[in-house]
Amino acid sequence: MGEAGLESAIPRVLCIAGSPRRHGNSERLLDALIQGVNNSGGLAEKLVVVDYGITPCRGCNSCSRDGVCVVKDRMHEIYPLIDAADAIVVSSPVYFATVPAALKVLYDRCQPYWARVHVLGRPRPRRRPGGMLVVGGGGDPYGNGCAITTTKSVLAVLGVQYKVELQVEGPDAPSDIEARPESLEQAEGLGCEIARLGLHFRMSEA
């Protein structure tokens, strides 16, 4: 098999760490998923949202004219990563029933993808699998549902079909997840699954 053939057999999985706290429970779960992706022959690319310092959507609707965001910041480094991914997985804690502000900013800055399809009539993004790892510390009367629904919404706009999910309740302090080895094993297993699905979807779209 030539270099092009080898490259086509390696699914690229974009792994988005949505917590503002580095190396906490949700990111640790994501690291386990990344290990599963890499162990199964995939290529995991980790994106830590807070490292990019992206600014909120202005609601200016400029992207409805040409499909391009006018805000000039590092989000323009993220768009190509989204476009190149064969699968996308998001990890996040739950903050007041939804995702943290930094992750929501990234979600809102995906508005150009919506505008291209629903305003400009361009083709939808290619079909890809994805999902979410979510950690709820407990005590929120509204649980994890809002965070998951918000994530499903943006993934749908990106052409991502929601295929894998892991919810872990209880961990709060940064190292609590280490007392849940079964959850880390589950995340690693989902990494293997999403890499397999990413390759399957890509081959089916070819």
Transcribe 26-37 into DSSP letters. Answer: HHHHHHHHHHHH
Q: Answer whether 0.75 is exceeded by the pTM.
A: yes
pLDDT of residue 142: 86
**Res 30: pLDDT:** 98
pLDDT, residue 131, reads 98
Distance CA 175, CA 199 (A): 33
Residue 56, token pair as written in the block? 């909120």
Best CA proximity match to 148, nearest among 97, 87, 186: 97
> How would you write the pLDDT of the chain (206 residues) with one tens digit per residue?
445 454 568 999 999 999 999 999 999 999 999 999 999 999 999 999 999 999 999 999 999 999 999 999 999 999 999 999 999 999 999 999 999 999 999 999 999 999 999 999 999 999 999 999 999 987 778 889 999 999 999 999 999 999 999 999 988 888 899 999 999 999 999 999 999 999 999 988 86
Query: In order of start, what are the domains of the chain with their CATH numbers?
Result: 13-205 (3.40.50.360)
pLDDT of 138 reads 78
According to the model, what pLDDT value does residue 1 have?
44
Residues contacting 190, CB < 8 A, separation 6+: 33, 36, 89, 131, 133, 164, 166
Task: Give the span between the Cα atoms of 26 and 187, in whole angstroms.
Answer: 10
Q: In sequence order, what DSSP letters do the residues of 38-61 get, joined into one string?
A: HHTT-EEEEEEGGGT-PPPP----
pLDDT of residue 6: 47
C-alpha 34/C-alpha 88 separation (Å) is: 11
CA distances from 36 to 118, 166, 188 (A): 36, 14, 4
